[in-house]
């Protein structure tokens, strides 16, 4: 079973949620693909992630980061302060998971002027994207 999760929002909590679900699918024996597109791909390239309004307070972020860490999702910033998040480290970690692929949307890569996929993301051409979406057992958008 292949599940494709489309992550389009430049929100740390969106990336966290998509990667957590993808990891669960991969660890249960399925194939998981997280397709970073739109704002998420732009933020990953330029470094501008935000938190959703309900998670913007320091207490809310700190609690989420701690719970992510407890769940084995390395979101805490290892170099600065563990109460701060590091989405890129989380993505790098997810890229090493068996049965889990992280891909850069070729359409948005072209629209953003990216000559190559950002670090930890697999490049894909449009034909491969169409094949991936057509052959997936489930496609989840906006998780």
Is 105 in a helix, a strand, or coil?
coil
- The token pair at 55 is 């998670």
CATH number at residue 67: 3.40.1260.10
Of 8, 44, 18, 41, the residue nearest 100 (C-alpha): 18
Q: Which domain holds residue 110?
A: 2-141
What tens digit of pLDDT does each residue of 53-84 get?
999 999 999 999 999 999 999 998 877 777 77
- The token pair at 22 is 């993808």
- The token pair at 87 is 């989405």
Which residue is it, tokens 């090493």?
A: 96
* Number of structural domains found in the chain: 1
Q: Alpha carbon 120 to chain centroid distance?
A: 10
- The rounded distance, in Å, linking the Cα atoms of 106 and 92 is 20
Query: What is the number of residues in the chain?
Result: 143
Side-chain-side CA neighbours of 123 within 13 Å: the count stands at 9
pTM metric for this prediction: 0.92
The yes-or-no verdict on residue 85 having pLDDT over 70 is: yes
What tens digit of pLDDT does each residue of 8-37 get?
999 999 999 999 999 999 999 999 999 999
Q: What is the arithmetic mean of pLDDT over 109-127?
A: 94
């Amino acid at each position: 079973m292949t599940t494709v999760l489309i992550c389009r929002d430049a929100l740390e909590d969106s990336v966290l949620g998509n990667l957590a679900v993808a990891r669960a699918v991969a660890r249960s024996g399925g194939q998981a693909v997280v397709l970073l597109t739109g704002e998420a791909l732009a933020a990953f390239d330029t470094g501008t992630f935000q938190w959703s309004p309900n998670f913007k307070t320091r207490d809310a972020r700190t609690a989420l980061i701690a719970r992510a860490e407890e769940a084995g999702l390395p979101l805490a910033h290892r170099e600065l302060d563990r109460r701060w998040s590091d989405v890129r480290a989380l993505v790098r970690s997810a890229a090493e998971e068996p049965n889990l692929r992280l891909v850069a949307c070729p359409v948005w890569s072209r629209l953003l002027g990216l000559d190559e996929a950002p670090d930890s993301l697999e490049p894909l051409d449009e034909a491969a994207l169409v094949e991936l979406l057509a052959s997936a057992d489930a496609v989840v958008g906006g998780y």
